Amino acid sequence: MLFFILIFMQFLYIECFYSSKMSKILSLKVVRMAVDHEVDVAVIGGGIAGSTISFLLQERHNCKVALIDPSVNIEGHWYPNYGEWRDEWHALSDLLQLPELKECTTTEWEITDCFFGGSNDIPMDERTTLPRPYVRVDRIKMQSLLRSKFFKANGISIPSKLSSTRINTNIFDKNLAHTENGSILTLDNGDVVKCKVLIDTSGLESKLVCKEDPMYARANRKSIPVGFQIAYGFIAHVDSLGPYDKDAMTLFDYKTNHLEGEQLIDATNRPTFMYAMPLGKLPDGKYRVFFEETSLVGKDKRRLSFEECKDRAYKRLKFHNINILGVEEEEYCYIPMGGELPDLTQRIIAFGGAANMVHPSTGYHACRMLAAASDLAKSIGNGIKENSKPDLISINAYKSLWHEENRWQRSFQVFGGDYLMQQNVNKLRGFFTAFFALEQPVWSGFLAGWPNLPGNEYHDSWYKRLKFALNLFLKMPNDVRISMVLYSILHTIEYGPFTLVRSLVPSFVVGDGPGNPIYDAPPVIIGDESAKQEARSMMKQFKPSATPKGRIDLNKVTENSETIPAPFN
Ligand SMILES: Cc1cc2nc3c(=O)[nH]c(=O)nc-3n(C[C@H](O)[C@H](O)[C@H](O)COP(=O)(O)OP(=O)(O)OC[C@H]3O[C@@H](n4cnc5c(N)ncnc54)[C@H](O)[C@@H]3O)c2cc1C
């Protein structure tokens, strides 16, 4: 009898209200009682990185995994519209032995278009067609694929949050403590999770992960500041496609002929490009397109606002006589790029955005993360099997993610991102014209920039990067060459020689690793708060005027959507 009473109490615990409607009628709330979990691995964050690593550890390495995220049980909670190169996507499907991954796309294009005209005597409308297919990831299908495999292998999901902030390496303000044999987490719902290994996949601005000191990274006191990719995206129903080919994905439209006067000057100095994915025709013959006006990377005054991106997108479409008939959804793209890597000696294993795996000069992340996931899972899985100490498991995990060669390759990408951030639109057009004139496997490899991805074999050692840099330099217009040389000098004066030198010369010349670590508790990242605040307030104002099936009668739209996704901390 006591047993039944306890079960009953667990589900019917009188405290408050159950749901918003019922709450008006009843003064009862069903509250679940806190549960204790003991697992091998706890994963904080159920985005693309957390979902991938938890599935691999649970299904392939027999670990007992708890995946923790407030939205973990909600289908389709991933926010970004992922666009990737098809050859990378297919290579990952093979690497991960996950054939279903190939089916996780909504749209595929056989060719990819770019517009770099308007500078260097290239006509504004000139189109550069890259014979390389592109895909738009079906984020709902992919999430459900990973989740169903995870659950089938008996993985545990906990729909809650870890509210904890790092105050020093391995020390947190509350709710998380490391012990010799593992970590203890207290979640917002009261559950306590004891785990041997703790993986942080909470995204690009984790509050848990400690970043390494720049002195350790490149023997210089000054951090290279984080840049931000800011983009305003939307799925629109439109009556025509203007310059965009219905069968091509447009990766870069750097044309500026839709602007004049002050706006043209601003767009020249603080460039944005249009990224356009035609998603097919609607039953009424109109087109469904994902448009995204994007600032590749910027900081301080060169960091665009979402309103500016939106304004430029609408002006661009109007200039091309593309009429917007309805908007299904918006995307506020905020990607911190560059910055310091995680401190490789800490207990928490950062992965995905939290481990700075975003490409510092392009913003691509998903394929890099997927390419790293198998090795990381193997390293952690072996550590658990061998009953290694948690600190040793973490050290080996970081060795698999950010081994020395990979660090030098990233340094080169950080330099590239920082260079691009400073250039006006003419230099960017010249730079990209030269870049895409390289052989396709070579430029593909730079955009991927991670071991196991196609083309990376052209960038994975100092002499290959040097060869790439020299070839690119030879193809550049003169003004771009001069800007590159000047920038290299300024960068070296400001941040020391090691970003570039360590990535382009052999280790016996400059030493084979970073200096000694110096721990002075670098600050927890807060990112660009004004950009995030702007995105939150614009999201609140958005009212969809179309659905994938057709347009909505605006007179019937009275309320804002209640479920506003929150992709920012
Ligand atoms: C709008 C946008 C578009 C992008 N487009 C692309 C693209 O086309 N191609 C590409 O390669 N990359 C793209 N990126 C970059 C990158 O791939 C994404 O940022 C990617 O989602 C990062 O994956 P993640 O799993 O590390 O983090 P996230 O996707 O941010 O997931 C983090 C998860 O952790 C959860 N979480 C956070 N804090 C806690 C906590 N304290 N406790 C529990 N759970 C927590 C969150 O709810 C979230 O579900 C895009 C990024 C953005 C923002």
Q: What is the pLDDT of residue 418?
A: 92
Highest mean pLDDT out of 8-12, 14-18, 292-296, 338-342: 292-296
Give the distance (Å) from ligand 1 centre to CA of residue 208.
15
Q: What is the pLDDT of residue 249?
A: 98
Give the distance (Å) from ligand 1 centre to CA of residue 564.
15
Average pLDDT of the residues in 478-486: 97
Phi and psi, residue 100, nearest 5°: -65, -20
Which of 235, 365, 539 has the most ligand 1 atoms within 8 A of CB, as the residue to mutate? 365
Nearest atom, ligand 1, residue 206 CA: 38
The total of other beta-carbon atoms located within 10 Å of residue 494's CB is: 12
Q: Tokens 């020390």 correspond to what residue?
A: 171
Element (H, E) at 473: helix 462-475
| Of the candidates 411, 87, 40, the residue with the CA atom closest to the CA atom of residue 219 | 411
Contact 73, 150 (CB under 8 A): no
Give the distance (Å) from ligand 1 centre to CA of residue 143.
13
Using DSSP's 3-state secondary structure scheme, residue 230 falls into strand
How many residues are given for the chain? 569
Average pLDDT of the residues in 431-440: 98
Give the distance (Å) from ligand 1 centre to CA of residue 336.
11
Nearest atom, ligand 1, residue 163 CA: 41
Confidence band of 230 (pLDDT split at 50, 70, 90): very high
Residue 260 confidence (pLDDT) above 60:
yes
Angle made by CA atoms 44, 52, 202, in degrees to the nearest 5? 25
Confidence band of 499 (pLDDT split at 50, 70, 90): confident
Q: What is the pLDDT of residue 512?
A: 57
> What is the identity of the amino acid at 176?
L
Q: What is the pLDDT of residues 328-387, one digit of tens each?
A: 999 999 999 999 999 998 999 999 999 999 999 999 999 999 999 999 999 999 999 999
Establish whether residue 337 lines the binding site of ligand 1, counting it when its CB lies within 6 angstroms of any ligand atom. Answer: no
Nearest atom, ligand 1, residue 164 CA: 41
The total of other beta-carbon atoms located within 10 Å of residue 262's CB is: 8
Q: What is the pLDDT of residues 52-92, one digit of tens each?
A: 999 999 999 999 999 999 999 998 889 999 999 999 999 99
The first and second tokens of residue 375, run together, are: 């090795």
Q: What is the pLDDT of residues 394-423, one digit of tens each?
A: 999 999 999 988 999 999 999 999 999 999
Contact 410, 502 (CB under 8 A): no
Q: What is the pLDDT of residue 218?
A: 78
Establish whether residue 142 lines the binding site of ligand 1, counting it when its CB lies within 6 angstroms of any ligand atom. Answer: no
The total of other beta-carbon atoms located within 10 Å of residue 489's CB is: 9
Give the residue, by CA position, lying nearest to ligand 1 atom 42. 161
Q: Tokens 């690593």 correspond to what residue?
A: 53
Residue 108 confidence (pLDDT) above 90:
yes
Establish whether residue 358 lines the binding site of ligand 1, counting it when its CB lies within 6 angstroms of any ligand atom. Answer: yes
CATH pick for 226-338 out of 3.30.450, 3.30.70, 1.10.12, 3.30.1490: 3.30.70
Residue 527 confidence (pLDDT) above 90:
no
Tell me the percentage of the chain whose pLDDT exceeds 90: 75
Residue 215 confidence (pLDDT) above 90:
no
Residue 519 confidence (pLDDT) above 90:
no
Average pLDDT of the residues in 256-272: 97
Establish whether residue 46 lines the binding site of ligand 1, counting it when its CB lies within 6 angstroms of any ligand atom. Answer: yes
Q: What is the pLDDT of residue 9?
A: 47
CA distances from 498 to 278, 307, 412, 556 (A): 43, 38, 10, 60
The domains of the chain are located at 2-33, 39-221+339-510, 226-338, 529-563
Q: What is the pLDDT of residue 518?
A: 45
The first and second tokens of residue 25, run together, are: 């009628």
Is 434 exposed, middle or buried (CB count within 10 Å of its CB: 0-12, 13-18, 19+)? buried
Average pLDDT of the residues in 509-521: 54
Domain 39-221+339-510 has CATH 3.50.50.60: yes
Using DSSP's 3-state secondary structure scheme, residue 389 falls into coil
Contact 217, 59 (CB under 8 A): no
Residue 301 confidence (pLDDT) above 90:
no
Nearest atom, ligand 1, residue 354 CA: 26
Q: What is the pLDDT of residue 391?
A: 94
Give the C-alpha separation, 201 to 355, whole Å.
8
Phi and psi, residue 334, nearest 5°: -130, 105
Give the C-alpha separation, 443 to 199, whole Å.
32
Q: What is the pLDDT of residue 213?
A: 84
How far from chain centre, in Å, is Cα 48? 9
Residue 18 confidence (pLDDT) above 50:
no
